[in-house]
Amino acid sequence: MSKKLENKVFLITGAASGMGKATVTKFEAEGAYIVAVDRNTSVIEVWDGHDQITPLIADVTKLDDIKNMAKTVKETYGHLDGVCNIAGINDLSYPLLETDDERWDNVMNIDLKAPFRILREMMPLMIENGGGSIVNIGSYAALRGNHGPSYTAAKAGLEGLTRSIAFSFAKNNIRCNIVHPGGCATNLTLGGQKYHEAQASLSNLIKAMPVKSFGQPEEIANICAFLCSDEATWINGAVISVDGGMSAC
């Protein structure tokens, strides 16, 4: 049987751990070639020896690094079939009155400005290729108001960016969709010193839901692979919740 992403080339960020690592693993299994990006130097060790994967250390908040991503794709593979913007951070549920400019800017730069810049640099490669597929990773937070304002605003903004790109580049055979994970068992969700009062409120809300609290990174990887495949050619501008039903509660 043919693999659904065979001989396609993708750029995937956040590739050293969590959802990014799971997505690279899934795409590799489906026959894709991947430029696997992470600012953590461990990305080299994680993907060393994988013939289909080119690991690249890069900071998605630095424009020179993003330009180097495009250069690496072009020089290594010659074309680009899609992008998965997975790298991101959480605001640790810090509420408005405890959110300073530094926290706001840091979340916005990684969760919203970086995907915008990455897609601006990668779009010419996909246009030249005759089309492509983009998956942005949002969050359940974009659909509800129970996270901190910086994270909620960034992910809601990413949804708007997704729709704009879907509309503007459909004529170029480029699709752009966003996936909103619920709680996912990754370091992003489980690690860090959260703002206790706000986090307690969110935890109590989640406990009251008739669904499991956490999904697995592989469950996000599966939908990314589907959206980037030819099985999803009629899906563009979609907002897809992958949260076990959390957003329906």
Amino acid at 82: G
Say if 2 falls within a structural domain. no
Of the pLDDT bands very low, low, confident and very high (cuts 50, 70, 90), residue 206 is low
- 249 found inside a domain: no
> Hey, is 54 helix, strand or coil?
strand
**Which token pair is 14?**
């956040």
Q: Hey, which residues are catalytic here?
A: 151
Q: Is residue 92 part of a domain?
A: yes
Q: Is the pLDDT of residue 192 over 60?
A: no
Which CATH number covers residue 49? 3.40.50.720
Residue 206 lies inside a defined structural domain of this protein: yes
Residue 235, domain extent: 9-240
Domain-located, residue 196: yes
Can you tell me whether residue 137 is helix, strand or coil? strand
Whats the size of the chain, residue-wise?
Answer: 249
* Distances, alpha carbon 210 to alpha carbons 82, 165, 189, 223, 247, in Å: 36, 35, 20, 23, 11
Residue 3 lies in a domain: no
Q: Say how far apart CA 186 and CA 216 lie, in whole Å.
A: 8
Q: pLDDT tens digits for 99-158? A: 999 999 999 999 999 999 999 999 999 999 999 999 999 999 999 887 899 999 999 999
Q: What is the pLDDT of residues 28-81, one digit of tens each?
A: 999 999 999 999 999 999 999 999 999 999 999 999 999 999 999 999 999 999
Structural domain contains residue 247: no
Please tell me the total count of domains within the chain: 1
Rounded distance between C-alpha atoms, residue 165 and residue 134, angstroms: 9
The answer to whether residue 246 sits within a structural domain is no
Residue 155 structure tokens = 């992910």
Helix ranges (DSSP H) in the chain: 18-29, 42-47, 63-77, 101-108, 114-129, 149-169, 187-190, 196-207, 217-227
